[in-house]
């Protein structure tokens, strides 16, 4: 199976992380290896502890610091990563079947949109690659706008099974 990439986009507190967590569990149940890339936004670095060697290197001004301990890899860089670079890393080194990307909403991969209310309607028309929408709003209202399968946020299990089929499981 070649690497399958799916994106999960939506504003804060729309259900993305909960959905992805449940999807990962389901993928593991059927024997697939899954990885997640989480776009952290613009909240700063939380990984560099100034009391560790890695943190000391970072705070001394290193442009990049990579920490490796067995199967653990942490990398801090002053140069932002592009999603394509991260996907390439998993294609070359990840040993995974499915790559789930939370965020990077403007990239054009197959995407599940998490929709909270009419305030989020702009995402339906501006984002590329939307294959499915999960909404806290009226699914019928959203479905008429989107032209794709729309699930209520109360139908997460059904949406996950639909996505599993789309992934090819």
- The confidence score (pLDDT) of residue 2 equals 85
Tokens (6 digits) for 54:
């890695």
Tell whether 125 is covered by a domain.
yes
Tell whether 64 is covered by a domain.
no
Is pTM beyond 0.75 here? yes
Tell whether 21 is covered by a domain.
yes
pLDDT at 47 over 70: no
What's the whole-number mean pLDDT along residues 63-83?
89
The enclosing H or E element of 112 equals strand 111-115
What's the whole-number mean pLDDT along residues 89-106?
92
Tokens (6 digits) for 88:
């390439």
- The confidence score (pLDDT) of residue 54 equals 87
Tell whether 143 is covered by a domain.
yes
Q: What number of other Cβ atoms are within 10 A of residue 127's Cβ? A: 17
Tell whether 53 is covered by a domain.
no
Q: Using 50, 70 and 90 to split pLDDT, how confident is the model at 41? A: low
Of 70, 75, 101, nearest to 87 by C-alpha is 101
Number of domains in the chain: 1
Tell whether 68 is covered by a domain.
no
pLDDT at 57 over 70: yes
Tell whether 51 is covered by a domain.
no
pLDDT at 23 over 70: yes
Ranking 45-54, 74-83, 126-135, 149-158 by mean pLDDT, the lowest is 45-54
Q: What is the CATH number of the domain that holds 94?
A: 3.40.50.300
Tell whether 63 is covered by a domain.
no
Q: Using 50, 70 and 90 to split pLDDT, how confident is the model at 147? A: confident
Q: Which domain holds residue 92?
A: 4-46+80-167
| Beta-strand pair 64-69/72-77 | antiparallel
- 7 near 105, Cβ under 8 Å? yes
Residues 86 and 18: their CA atoms lie apart, in Å, by 22
Q: What number of other Cβ atoms are within 10 A of residue 150's Cβ? A: 24
Q: DSSP label at 15?
A: S
Which residues have CB under 8 Å from 9's CB, separation 6+? 16, 103, 104, 105, 111, 112, 113, 114, 123, 127
pLDDT at 46 over 70: no
């Amino acid at each position: 199976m070649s690497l399958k990439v799916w994106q999960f986009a939506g504003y804060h507190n729309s259900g993305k992380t909960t959905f992805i967590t449940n999807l990962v569990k389901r993928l593991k149940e059927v024997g697939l290896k899954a990885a997640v890339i989480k776009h952290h936004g613009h909240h700063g670095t939380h990984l560099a502890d100034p009391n560790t060697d890695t943190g000391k290197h970072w705070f001394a001004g290193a442009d990049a610091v990579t920490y490796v301990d067995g199967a653990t890899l942490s990398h801090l860089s002053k140069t932002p990563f592009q999603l394509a670079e991260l996907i390439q890393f998993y294609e070359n080194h990840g040993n995974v079947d499915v790559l789930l990307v939370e965020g990077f909403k403007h990239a054009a991969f197959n995407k599940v949109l998490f929709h909270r209310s009419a305030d989020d309607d702009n995402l339906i028309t501006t984002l590329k690659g939307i294959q499915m929408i999960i909404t806290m709003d009226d699914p019928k209202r959203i479905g008429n706008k989107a032209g794709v399968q729309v699930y209520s946020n109360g139908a997460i299990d059904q949406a996950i099974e639909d996505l599993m089929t789309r992934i090819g499981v």
